[in-house]
Structure 1
């Protein structure tokens, strides 16, 4: 006779407190990010616009100056301004100075925002781990647990990029905003008591299949944010190159972002890097289905939409390698693919009756 594990209610309550506490800290991080964008000096905003105006219609190479040290004969090359070529190769545009506008005041708010985000991440991760300890299993047996773990992994991935010295602080504001929405939905509509798994989920494949799905979704999310911002920034650069005059708000915000080409490159690289793991996720799910239900593929809604998502990202990667489909056209495909992932994440579990309907709501 196998006795079912009991739930430690004190740990479950502690998990709830930690999740709500993380939301409070994320809210502070949200306001710090707003201050970073709004209160940082805009004195350096407009450099990219000047570069675009001077080089409209033609790609220009960055200037390299030669400086000779006084009293010696050694020539020293000054570091050139880094520019990035767009996917279409039509123009070279320097990256913006970042979310804070490159000023001391803005950078201070940015550092505060990142510090608060790190603290919120640690508190939320503690809540996820405590939830797992309360039932002695993987903390993603229902939609509430999946949502809290998903947002934790998304923030952790973002912080990983930051600590690797990647220029991704511009993701901070949309990321924290999305995490607050995700946790708000989770705690308001998806909240379920800490309990044991349904029999179909009680497998070691839960650790493998669902964890890879969560990680893939987190990286796909970061790629989708970069893709969406790429579309805005690309339109802004096109308007400037054609002699247009964007509004003050658009100029103050979009000028601080990386160049459209840099955003496009970032989204492509993260999507391309995670695509093989998403392929493995589908294969692992099929193997688990074979163990649990006696068939590897049964055209269940979750299986179908996972495959549709795979096709969407495969089409995006193929489009990036196809002449005439780079840039905005490929970006639209990437956003459609991520929309398919979101429907698979929320829609199938909540609104569709299937073998994978474990929302618990």
Structure 2
């Protein structure tokens, strides 16, 4: 099948545009984080409750000329955060269009090489962040405010932008048909499950790393005050990391099982301890250990969080080193 070069060029332009939008959103997120108020635990929550009670019991009094007082202007940090979320949604739409253009241009699933796979998993991470953000914003949380959660976007977008930059430069591959070994309907089933789980686990790993930083601050407020004090409470970060991992772990399990079924159809065996298979299984064991440790009273906390961070490190190692450096049956980087 011939490649539609016009749509392929549109895909490349949309990709580059999404990277620029994500960088702007990241800077705005970090701006909100820098100018936002430090987390003060339950005292802030109690003040909000008192203020809410007062607002219900008394209506605002008009001024001397009979007009109600003007609504106070939103703080700079909140305005920066709102703009960051708007740019995130715009960037995700442009990013998704780049994958759609690439898929239509080649007539296949748009994740047949490392460039496309890196683009897809970062989009999955951004969508996971938006889902968590909107769910947390709509819900009433006792231990953190929506603004504090929103400011975490900068820490997520930093690895996202780095991965997109690497994928678009060092790992870039021109639009082309699939290699014969990948021409199977299993590429939609197996690889899409791997993309979704990798993107969500990227978010979970970042949340666990921030949890460790927040715990260091709570144990010693003089340590890393500027960063740790502005993060949501350790309970909120731990909950986000755990929920993301426990929800996506079955998807990662399914991805491994689907890969084994595809391997049997392609190579005549379900499992051959190929480097990619081995590293994927190691990641599965690490995440299973994290979920077990997180549910164990004597091991939960920082030690369990480090297991989640280790799982992310294994996934990144599997994504780059195994695919690029080590030769194996899964060497489809397109480089």
TM-score (norm 1): 0.79
Aligned residue runs from structure 1 range 84-163, under 5 A = 104-163=75-134
Counterpart CA distance in 1 for 2:26 and 2:87 is 9
Instruction: State how far apart, in whole Å, the 2-side matches of 1:46 and 1:187 are.
Output: 37
Q: Quote the offset at 1:342 in angstroms.
A: 1.1
**Are the structure 2 counterparts of residues 68 and 225 from structure 1 closer, same or farther at C-alpha, using a change threshold of 3 Å?**
closer
CA RMSD of aligned residues (A): 2.5
Note the alpha carbon deviations across 1:234-282, whole angstroms, 9 max, x for none.
0100113xxxx34xxx434322221112211211111111111111111
Q: Deviation per CA, 1:279-335, whole angstroms, max 9, x where unpaired? A: 111100000011111111111111111111111111111112223211011111111
Greater shift in the superposed pair: 120-129 or 319-328:
319-328
Structure 1 residue 175 corresponds to structure 2 residue 156 = yes
Q: In 2 relative to 1, CA 265–14 (structure 1 residues): closer, same or farther, beyond 3 Å?
A: same
The one of 296, 304, 311 aligned to 1:330: 304
Alpha-carbon separation, structure 2, partners of 1:51 and 1:163:
24
Pick one of 23, 26, 29 that aligns with 2:25.
29
Distance 2:120 2:225 in 1: 36
For the 8 Å contact 1:46–1:251, the answer to whether it is kept is no
Match of 1:189 in 2: 170
Q: Distance in 2 between matches of 1:144 and 1:29?
A: 22
TM-score, length of structure 2 as denominator length? 0.85
Unpaired runs of 5+ residues, structure 1, are 53-60, 70-75, 77-102
Superposed displacement of residue 164, structure 1: 2.6
Q: Which one of 281, 287, 297 corresponds to residue 261 of structure 2?
A: 287
Q: Work out the CA distance in 2 between the residues paired with 1:46 and 1:158.
A: 21
Q: Which runs of 5+ in 2 are unaligned?
A: 58-73, 138-145
CA distance in structure 2 between the aligned counterparts of 1:46 and 1:145, rounded to whole angstroms:
39
Distance 2:134 2:291 in 1: 27
State whether residues 11 and 99 of structure 2, in contact with CA within 8 Å, keep that contact through their aligned partners in structure 1: yes
Aligned match of 1:15: 11
Aligned mates of 1:129, 1:331 — CA distance in 2: 36
Corresponding position of 1:229: 210
Count matched residues: 306
Question: Does residue 327 of structure 2 align to residue 353 of structure 1?
Answer: yes
The 2-side partners of 1:68 and 1:188 are apart by 55
Runs of 4+ in 1 over 6 A off after TM superposition: none
1:176, 1:336 → 2: CA distance? 19
Alpha-carbon distance in structure 1 between the residues aligned to 2:316 and 2:225: 31
CA deviation after TM superposition for structure 1 residue 31, in Å: 2.2
Give the drift of 1:32: 1.6
Hey, which of these two has a bigger chunk of helix by percent?
2
